[in-house]
Each structure stands twice: as C-alpha cells, then as structure tokens.
Structure 1
C-alpha cells in the first residue's frame, strides 16, 4: 500500500475547465534545509505512468508503485527493466516489490537527479550502473536490494529514517563518501545551526551506515563489496571520532580530554591505513607476502652494503626481519645508530608478521 504522504492541489473550481491533478511532494524541498533536494519551495509533481516510449527524460513527475503494477499487468510482463531513463526532480511513492515468482523490477544505467525516494519502500529491486545525483534517501527503505556499480553524488541519508536491511552496495566507500549535508552558512544561520555542527552530525551518520553496510555485505557472496565495507567502516568510525573531538575542542568543551582523543584517533587512523594497505584490508594474502619479501631484501641489501658481503647481508636481513636471529646481532656493544637500525628492522618485521598471520586465519575462517 502506498504511503499517504502527499496532498492533491490545484483541483479545478466549479465552472472552470477541469485541470489535471497535481501533487505537492514531501516538505523536504521547502523545509529540510540539510537535504540535497532543498530549494526553499515545493514542486508541483504530476502523476505519470511507467511507459517511457516517448519520454526518456521525465521531469517533475510522480511515479507510484500502483502505477507500475498496473503497467506490468497491462503488458503481462514478468520482468520490468527500466533502462537508460533520466529522471529529473521526480518522486517515487509506494511499495515496489520485485519477486521472481511474480515479476522482477530492475533499473539499468538510469540517471536520478534531485529525486526523492522518501515515499517508497523497495524490496528485492536491483539498480545496475545507475547514477544518483543530489537525491534524497531519507524516509526511504530498501530491503534485499542490490546497487551494483552505481555512481553517487551528494546524497542525503538519515541515521534513523533511511533503512537498508540486507541491501548490498557494491561500492560502499563511494556511497558513504557521497553523503551530503548543507554547509551553507547563510541558510544554516536561519535555523541556528553552523557548518561545524552539521559536519560533525554527518560524520556520525556515515559511521552508522558504514556499520550497516558491513553487516549486510557479510550475508552476500561479493568479496569486493565485503572488504570494501570493512575499509569504509574502520575508517569512517575513526573519522567520526575525529570530527566529534574537533567540534568539542572548537566549542571549548574539555580541551585536554578531547585533544587527547583527537591525537589518538589521528594516530590510529594512520596505522590502520598503513596496515590496511599491506593486506588490502584483509582481501589479499599475496600482497603482504610480497611486501615481506621486499622488506627482507631491502634490509638485506643495506646490511650487505655495510658488511661489503651481500650474501651475509641477506641472511642477516632475514634473521632480523623474521626475529629468528635478532639476538645474534643485537648487542650493547653496537653503536647507537646500528642498534636503532636493528630495532627499526625488527619493528617492521613484527608489524608485518602481525598483519599477515591474522589475514591468513581470517580468510580461512571466513570460508569455513
């Protein structure tokens, strides 16, 4: 059943020629100042069917699930594939259900610009290589849907009103990066808000959705999406802490405590991305193995140059990097610079080992 979210307006008065009913959408465009579709006034949207034979670029129209169902039944379709249609300032309202036993619904290479999905519930629908530019997903629900290789630009999400149960997004990093909030000082000042507060809230919303996307990716067989979600969640959770600490410091709330949290998050973010690069965020075993070999060779060549014997240098590099012979070379009699070099070599070896082994175990455990 469609959500009752719009009111009919502009109905013809008695004695006047009959006008086609027009519909005013959600108040997002006129009142939701943080939304990407906010323009300061409402749009008059005309209900439209789903036959795009003569209209490849629908603009300022309302599309309903009831209209789609009627079109599917009229054409006796088992599959409705909306392909290469450019929607501009359109709204989607109702419950769109895609079922293999009845009818499948999919969108391929479509473009959605300044569209509002907030009036719809989508179940089992697939969007392939679609573009979403300045679209609003607040008050929208996508259940068991797939967004495959879609392009995202300035989309609006709500941590409490956008639902994505068991929905797979193949490029979660781009989806999260595209999340938008209005940072225009003139507009925000009218509502007693400021850009730093809006940015802080946005980063928190991104962190929440990153965790949701990771949980959803665990239930699907797309490894690229899963490890992409791992990278996105780990980074975004720290970025959220960074922006929150920064906001609190700027407003004089616990400078020392939040300052320490800020520095700790920065360090953690650096180490996390270095480690993530080594094992491709858990996806690759080959990359850390190759990096381990290169690390051993690099220190081995350096030791060979110092000893004027590259064979012994390579053996020494292997012993220290893998920590199997560190004690043979570490001595209090060595110069400080040599002790520091051995320590750096051992540290990188230990760090590499700490990345490789859990990666291997995690890959085996995930398969099981």
Structure 2
C-alpha cells in the first residue's frame, strides 16, 4: 500500500508523487506543500494542494460542481457519499475507502485510483483521462461503472525516467504490464455487472473482458521475450503464439459483432437474411438456377440442413466453391444465432 504520512505543518509525504513513476500523480506536486482542508466549499469551489480527510466527516457528503486539483482523499468515507459534476484533476485516492458512494457525471483527469477501495459504489456517466489503476490494490467490489470500456482505456502508465536501459523502464514492458492490469480490472468489473447494472453495460463488459484476456496472454509473452536470458527458439515460439492470438482476437471481434456481443437478436437475424439473399443472387447469376430454386438452395445450405442435397462431387468447381462458402458462412451464423436466442430468452447473464 502506498505510504502516506501526515507531517506537522499539515502537509504529507506521499510516495506516489516521489517514487511511483508509473502513476499519473508522479511529480505533479511537492507533497510538502499539501495542507489539510475543510469540507466546507461555500467559499472554495476550486481547492488545490489539499488533503481531504474522511475522519473529519460525521455524515455523508453531497458535493456538486467542485474542481479538485492536486488533492488527496484519505480515510474511510461515510456510506452514501455523493459527488456530482465534479472534476478530479491530478487527485490521489490512495488509502481511501468509499462504500455505497455515487459519482455522477464526474471527470477524472490524471488521477490515481490505485490502492483505493470502492465498495458497492457507482460511477455513472463519468469521463476518464489517464487514470492510475492497480490489478492488486484497486478494489471495486460490487461497484458499477456505466462506461467500462472508456474506464479501462484510460488506464495510464509511464517509463522510469531514471532507468533508460533497464528492462522495467522500456515502453514495451510498461505497456505489457498495463495490459495485464487492465485485464485484471476488467474481470473485476465484469463480475460486478453479472449481478447488477444494465444489460447494456453487462454486454459491454463481456466484450471488454474477452478482448483484454487475449491481450493479457500476449502481454505475458511480451514480457518474457524482453528478458535477456530468453533462448532464441522460445523467443520465436512466443512471437508465433502472439501472432496467432492477434488473429484470434480479430476473428472473435468480427464474429461477435454479428450479435453485438450478445446484446441483439435482430442483428444476427438480419445478417442471416443478407446471407440467404446474397447466395440466392449468386446461384441465380453464376449457376443460372431459377429464382425459387436458388432461394431454396441458399436457405437449405445456410441452415446447415441441405448441403448434401444440393452438392455432389460431380458438380462443377464454381458450384462447389459457392456451396462450401455458403456452408461455412451459414455455420458461423448458426453458431451465433442459436446461443444468442437462448441467452436472451433465459435472461441468464
């Protein structure tokens, strides 16, 4: 856990600002300049270089339209605290705990949520820019985030300015570590949305977690490849596996966009109609088959029911190519539409 020490002049010493080069609040301000601040914002709508200690609160806070800049939040906050339309710029939430708190339409800019705990809280319609996260110490148990993809994409890291040649200072290493962290956080958010939140956010979490899990695999091998002790065969093998994973990810994205990652039944139905229409036109134009027979042939093969009925080894090359491609596309469509319908009917997340 990041060390925070309150010093006699009211300021504090925070190792994130002086040591943790990967954190967005690193070197944003001199820790000695911070002073404990009051929770009264009647005359102070833009606090700077302030420490807000939850120990001074006896009841939940309800704060609106305050711009916090270079501020630190520490302590265990009263349940049901609420922040609306606030800006948190270069703020550090280390060693803070929020339970059943709500952040509505807030902006988090270059702020750190690592070593912070948010229990059964909500971040609704917030915006995120360069935020610090930790897969181990950012706790989001039961917490809902209504735009999880933007939250994960905003995760921040940086190189060590004092170690230009070390393994841990390279951009590749830091980016790989960041992708692993993003995957860990994405899984935590996904678990939360399986129990609560909207269907829209849940299916966005499905997409996010699926993609990040593949990126995590690639990142682990990337870190292994950076090691100076890795053997050439292992290095080449890892590169091949990473290429395969990258192709896998693109195929998954392409296929699961058919049903909007589980959100839509209409899209795969429409996709099925397009398949049948295109192959009907192909059979009519290229094979000179009558329209009604072309529709039946396209429908039978697309539904994976009549391939053998309409194709044989005696057919010409063009007909076999069209029939096989129709079968493959139909199999993909069939594999998507059936689970989608079952999932939507059963309402099981």
Pair in the same fold by TM > 0.5:
yes
Q: CA deviation at 1:246?
A: 3.4
CA–CA distance in structure 2, aligned partners of residues 4 and 321 of structure 1: 62
Quick check: 1:27–1:42 contact (8 Å CA) kept in 2?
A: no
Q: How does 1:300-339 map to 2 (within 5 A)?
A: 300-306=280-286, 307=288, 309-339=290-320
Q: CA deviation at 1:259?
A: 2.6
Q: CA deviation at 1:285?
A: 1.3
Quick check: 2:173–2:223 contact (8 Å CA) kept in 1?
A: yes
Q: CA deviation at 1:163?
A: 1.0
Q: CA deviation at 1:290?
A: 1.2
Quick check: 1:188–1:195 contact (8 Å CA) kept in 2?
A: no
Q: 1:41 to 1:57 in 2, by over 3 A?
A: closer
1:35 equivalent to 2:10? Answer no
Map of 1:179 onto structure 2: 155
Map of 2:246 onto structure 1: 266
Q: 1:232 to 1:94 in 2, by over 3 A?
A: same
Report how many aligned residue pairs link the two structures. Answer: 341
Quick check: 1:304–1:311 contact (8 Å CA) kept in 2?
A: no
Q: CA deviation at 1:189?
A: 2.2
SS in structure 2 at match of 1:304? helix
> Which of residues 46, 49, 55 in structure 1 aligns to 2:44?
55
Quick check: 1:33–1:188 contact (8 Å CA) kept in 2?
A: no
Compute the TM-score of the two structures, normalised by the length of structure 2: 0.91
1:152 equivalent to 2:128? Answer yes
CA offsets 1:334-358 (integer angstroms, 9 cap, x no match): 2223212211110010111101111
Q: 1:40 to 1:51 in 2, by over 3 A?
A: closer
Q: 1:294 to 1:171 in 2, by over 3 A?
A: same
Quick check: 1:144–1:165 contact (8 Å CA) kept in 2?
A: yes
CA offsets 1:112-167 (integer angstroms, 9 cap, x no match): 11100002011110011111111111111111110111111111111211111111
1:242 equivalent to 2:218? Answer yes
SS in structure 2 at match of 1:87? strand
> Which of residues 24, 28, 47 in structure 1 aligns to 2:12?
24
Quick check: 2:279–2:298 contact (8 Å CA) kept in 1?
A: yes
Quick check: 1:138–1:161 contact (8 Å CA) kept in 2?
A: yes
Quick check: 2:46–2:69 contact (8 Å CA) kept in 1?
A: yes
Map of 1:6 onto structure 2: 5
Gaps spanning 5+ residues in structure 2: where?
none
Quick check: 2:57–2:78 contact (8 Å CA) kept in 1?
A: no
**RMSD of aligned Cα (Å):** 2.1
CA offsets 1:195-217 (integer angstroms, 9 cap, x no match): 11111111111111111111011
1:46 equivalent to 2:44? Answer no
Gaps spanning 5+ residues in structure 1: where?
10-20, 73-78, 99-103
Q: How does 1:158-197 map to 2 (within 5 A)?
A: 158-183=134-159, 186-189=161-164, 193-197=169-173
Map of 1:17 onto structure 2: none
CA–CA distance in structure 2, aligned partners of residues 25 and 278 of structure 1: 52
Q: 1:190 to 1:348 in 2, by over 3 A?
A: closer
CA–CA distance in structure 1, aligned partners of residues 104 and 63 of structure 2: 10
